[in-house]
Chain A
Amino acid sequence: MQIEFTHKQSAHCENGVVSNLMRHNGFEVSEPMVFGIGSGLLFCYIPFLKVNHAPVVTYRAMPRFIFNRFAKRVGIKIKREKFSNPESAKARLDENLKKNNPVGLQVGVYNLLYFPDEYRFHFNAHNLVVYGKENDNYLISDPVMEQVTTLTEKQLEKVRFAKGAFAPKGHIYYPTEFPEKLELKSAIIKGIKQTCREMTAPFPIVGTNGIKTISKLIRKWPKKKGAKVANHYLGQVVRMQEEIGTGGGGFRYIYAAFLQEASQILDNENLKELSKEMTQIGDDWRDFAVNASRIYKNRSAQDDAYNKVADQLEAIANSEAAFFKKLKKAI
């Protein structure tokens, strides 16, 4: 059994699943639109948590949040379910496939065999679409992959019941109700407002203040942690920023693409200019990554090199702070 489903590759998994499921139901919504309306852009440093033995920063909103906000703002309804046992999780999946309904699943990456070994970490917030079943094989549309693929029943069960932080617990989701026409205009404005609010929030770990906090920490790392650990930490910051899913520059380019699309829908020239500015900020993030990589490539830890990349981050924090003030005024 195979559902007629168009696989379109995206930069990020959650945006891609939403965008592809929407298209399947007759609504053409681009990945940047989903990301922007769902207020996906963020910067957050998560203290007290270590992943792969290094501190965690994120450049985007929590998993699930993007789709939930998007749904609420454009007026669609989503059904979500989690399961305590694998049998009922599988039964619900099969039931939906029989009804010709492709569904989104949250999965862990570690046992996702079609990923290269190097990318298989214990990361549990990956998303994909199942669009059919042939014999023992589920047909998989993973938005970050160029091509569709398959997983056996057992392989799929393993990734749906991965353990650890953000364990998926068989999480299945799909849109159930649609309005006649999507409320894009008001949705875009709500999405932008929330992003502005979060990015300029007066807390030291969120938004532009969060970037400043990380910049301060980076200055301390070489002395406090030694060259090896400091390099490992810095490498992780760059990976979170650039690894599969961000579309480059820690989601800043996707956001710029969203602003460009939004400027047409809202007929707002200011947003077009701001899109260019966001692209420039994305370029600054890329420059930061290049300079950081020079440090960990040589596996050295000179204080002045660390200070230099920290300065760069501080400058980015300042330009983003100015940017989101302007963006708030523009809508």
Chain B
Amino acid sequence: MKKEEVPQDKGLLETAQTKELTYAVDENGEYTTELSSGWDPKTIALSNAIKDIEERVANAKERVQKNETSPIEYYMELHKMDLPILSSYVGLWQWRVKRHFKPKNFQKLNQKTLQKYADVFDISIEELKHIS
């Protein structure tokens, strides 16, 4: 890649007021560095990944409202987590976390366990029980 070809597309780093460093060749064929504000091929990939997460969150929310899953799954998706990550944060086996996805089991959870989940998601137990 030549220095003048380093892409300067509109990217998602703008909000953090930073650019990323790329390596490119100058007019004498020597390697140098150049800042890049963004590149469409990867910005599209990242935006698609974000949209994918948003869909997962919306889908989980719908299933909580239909009483098909517990709010834990909704908050898990909201925090971009999956089962292994959530289980590691909350300090419970994956199969136990999975059980807590079932509304019936969720209802029976004691305060201590609920507090664990609430702490992970940085919310109150009340918010954990009733998603907005």
Q: How far is the CB of A23 from chain B (nearest CB, A)?
A: 15
CB-CB under 8 A for A11 and B29, given A243-B46, A249-B1 = no
CB-CB under 8 A for A293 and B16, given A144-B21, A165-B84, A260-B30 = no
Q: Is the interface of B mostly helix, strand, loop or mixed?
A: mixed
Q: Which residue of A lies closest to B40 (CB)?
A: A293
Q: How large is the interface on A (under 10, 10 to 19, 20 to 34, 35 or more residues)?
A: 35 or more
Which A residues lie within 8 Å of B40 (CB)?
293
Which A residues lie within 8 Å of B22 (CB)?
11, 247-248, 253
CA A9 – CA B19 in complex, angstroms? 10
B31 close to chain A: CB less than 8 A = yes
CA A10 – CA B18 in complex, angstroms? 12
| Chain A 221-267 residues near chain B, CB threshold 8 A | 231-232, 235-236, 238-239, 242-244, 247-249, 253-254, 256-257, 260-261
CB-CB under 8 A for A292 and B35, given A53-B82, A260-B30 = no
Which B residues lie within 8 Å of A236 (CB)?
45, 49
Q: How large is the interface on B (under 10, 10 to 19, 20 to 34, 35 or more residues)?
A: 35 or more
From A165, A232, A253, A256, B49 is in contact (CB under 8 Å) with: A232
B109 close to chain A: CB less than 8 A = no
Q: How far is the CB of B34 from chain A (nearest CB, A)?
A: 9
From A116, A122, A256, B15 is in contact (CB under 8 Å) with: A116
Q: How far is the CB of A119 from chain B (nearest CB, A)?
A: 7
| Chain A 270-299 residues near chain B, CB threshold 8 A | 275-276, 279, 282-283, 286, 289-290, 292-293, 296-297, 299
Of all A-B residue pairs in the complex, the 6 with the closest CB atoms, nearest first, are A293-B41, A257-B31, A235-B45, A253-B23, A163-B88, A164-B85
18 contacts between A and B (CB under 8 A): A11-B23, A50-B82, A118-B12, A119-B46, A121-B80, A145-B16, A145-B18, A146-B18, A164-B81, A232-B49, A235-B44, A239-B49, A247-B23, A253-B23, A254-B23, A261-B31, A279-B25, A286-B1
User: Could you list which residues of chain A lie within 8 angstroms of chain B, going by C-beta atoms?
Assistant: 9-11, 32, 50, 52-53, 110, 114-122, 144-147, 163-165, 167, 231-232, 235-236, 238-239, 242-244, 247-249, 253-254, 256-257, 260-261, 275-276, 279, 282-283, 286, 289-290, 292-293, 296-297, 299
